[in-house]
Structure 1
Amino acid sequence: MTLFPAAFVMVFLGIWAIAETVVPEITDTDYHARLRFIRSAAAEYPERPLGVLLGSSRTVWAFRPEQLPETTGTYWVNGSHVGAGPTLNRVIVHRLLRDGVRPSVVALEITPPYFVKENSRFVSGHFAVTDMPLVRRYADRPFDYDYYFLRHRLTRAPDLARVADPFAGYEIHNPRGGHQIIETDVSPAERAKRTALALERNGPLTQSMVVRPGADLAFRDTLREITDHGIRVVLLRSPEGPTFRSWYNPDGLARFDEYITRVAREYGASIIDARLWLDEDDFYDSHHVLKRGADKFTTRFAREVANISDH
């Protein structure tokens, strides 16, 4: 009897592994949807250099490449993922390269709080079985990701039913990865409420600003893998409102800025500092944009990254 639970778990994980092998889209459906967009862009415009922006929920909503003019320059696709910090971005980059994506340039967003702490429980829900050997070395504690990975698999058994149609109920993005649903405005009361929630979640992290070892390792490994494939990398310091910026410990932020500059120099990466590009009312919580903020950011990002290319 004592062996039954362990045996059940092993069989169940085996079923998951088989299902993922046949239909990999059942795990991290958002990645596979964006992979389709990226592949389509590369196939449709083979003569143009491909650019992929990778980041967190900030850039999921902020970057809307569909509104960029159809020129002969870099063809940008938004490959951002909600909740993506150093570890999840590490996985996404590794997957893209494994799956044959070879952009000319990758813009990698830097979200400072995620360097202090990344939500292990959340990101583990997006790992596939094949990702586990890669991510273990980035965990805060030994087997941390394994624990949450196993917990996710056992509590979300109904996901196995999505093998028949893994994209059922999935929010479809625009053809170049921009999110279709974006708010145009919020009331002052709603903005205050959401900003208070953002402070609750990020306040302790912005006061600490101590980069955890696993985040540093994941970040460096990501840059190394990108550059080893001959791909140019740009680091993006994403926009933040004055309120969000006021939460940082000044000394800690200065050390973090020095850290990013140092690592960028080590890997030959350029930096686009967009932190001051938007006003407070361009956000609904001082770091996630409204539509007007997304429009401003997208236009300026394309211009700034083109200027880097020209030099």
Structure 2
Amino acid sequence: MLLFPPAFVLVLLGVWAAVEAAVPEITDTDYFVRLRVVKATAADHPDRPLGVVIGSSRVLHGFQPEQMPDEPGGPVWVSAAHMGAGPSLTRLILHNLLRDGVRPAAVVIELMPTFFTRENEGFVCAHFALADMPLVHAYSDAPFGYEYHFLRHRFKRIGDLARADDPFAGQEVPLPRGGRSSILNDLSPEDRARYMASAMAANGAVKKMAVRPAADRAFRDTLREAAEHGIPVVLLRMPEGPVFRSWYDPDGLRAFDEYVARTAGEFGTPVIDARFWLDDENDFYDSHHLLKGGGAKFTARFARELSAALAGR
């Protein structure tokens, strides 16, 4: 009886490892959906450099790569945005894109302050495989934190193994360059109030704004790996509405701004600060995720600023 729990854990991990090895898409289907888009775009434009934008749901909703102008000889931009992508998940996404044969000519990495202050380790663990553990282990806030959440997730989600037959079932199909196919264009006052309440609850950590050591390690390792592969990086701070910006502690925000500037300076990485580009709350549905019209405004200016940032490196 005493041997049963550890034996069960070992068997469970063995089953997950075997399934993930045979069907890697079962673990983070969102990533593999984006990987398909990135590879298809590169194959469709073999004579053009590839640009990849990595970020959270802010980028997923706000960046419209299909609207990026085609500059002769310039990069073809695609979105590899991922729901909930903070420093740890961004680290994993870039690493896995390189592992899976993607060779971007440039990468944009979004910095979302909330995730530097607090990252949901349980959520992150739902998006990496057992084989990824050696990479992500160092980015947990507590010793063996990811190992704990990984085991907990795999135990609670045993039923997900049934998805191995068709891991892409039910997944939203993105637009050809990774833009989201379903973006809110308008919403009722009641829905807006509900989204705003949810945003406030999820981003309460912005009051503290202390950068976690684990987040700093993940961020720096991401920049370091890009540099090792000769990939220019541009950092991006997405638009935020006046209400969202009012939630920050001024001193904490000032410290975070200094952290970003200092780290970007160390790596010679330009920063596109789009936080103040859209001051109309009607461009957002919760003061930090963009509606379709707001996303079009952001993308148009982002294209100009990005071209200038890369030319100035």
Shorter-chain TM range is over 0.9
* TM-score calculated relative to the size of structure 2: 0.97
Pairwise CA distance, 1:85: 0.3
Partner of 2:51: 51
Partner of 2:16: 16
| Cα-to-partner distance string for 1:145-191 (whole Å, 9 max, x where unaligned) | 11111111111112111222111111111111111111111122321
Alignment of 1:303 onto 2:301 = no
Q: Counterpart of 1:268 in structure 2: which amino acid?
A: G
Partner of 1:187: 188
Partner of 2:111: 110
Q: Counterpart of 1:159 in structure 2: which amino acid?
A: D
Partner of 2:270: 270
The number of residues matched between the two structures is 310
Matched residue SS, 1:41: helix
Q: Counterpart of 2:25 in structure 1: which amino acid?
A: E
Alignment of 1:177-216 (within 5 A): 177-203=178-204, 205-216=205-216
Partner of 2:34: 34
Aligned-CA RMSD value: 1.1
Q: Counterpart of 1:118 in structure 2: which amino acid?
A: E
Pairwise CA distance, 1:193: 2.2
Q: Counterpart of 2:172 in structure 1: which amino acid?
A: E
The separation in 2 between residues aligned to 1:302 and 1:67, in whole angstroms, is 9
Pairwise CA distance, 1:130: 1.2
| Cα-to-partner distance string for 1:122-146 (whole Å, 9 max, x where unaligned) | 1111111111111111111111111
Alignment of 1:237 onto 2:234 = no
Partner of 2:81: 80
- The answer to whether the Cα contact below 8 Å between 2:234 and 2:310 also exists between their aligned partners in 1 is no
Matched residue SS, 1:235: strand
Partner of 1:221: 221
| Cα-to-partner distance string for 1:250-308 (whole Å, 9 max, x where unaligned) | 11111110100010011111100000111211001000111001111111111110122
Pairwise CA distance, 1:54: 0.4
| Cα-to-partner distance string for 1:206-253 (whole Å, 9 max, x where unaligned) | 110000100001000000001110000000011100100011111111
Partner of 1:253: 253
- The answer to whether the Cα contact below 8 Å between 2:66 and 2:177 also exists between their aligned partners in 1 is yes
The separation in 2 between residues aligned to 1:206 and 1:69, in whole angstroms, is 34
Pairwise CA distance, 1:69: 3.4
Moved over 4 A (4+): none
* TM-score calculated relative to the size of structure 1: 0.97
Alignment of 1:288 onto 2:280 = no
Matched residue SS, 2:53: strand
The separation in 2 between residues aligned to 1:32 and 1:219, in whole angstroms, is 22
- The answer to whether the Cα contact below 8 Å between 2:69 and 2:303 also exists between their aligned partners in 1 is no
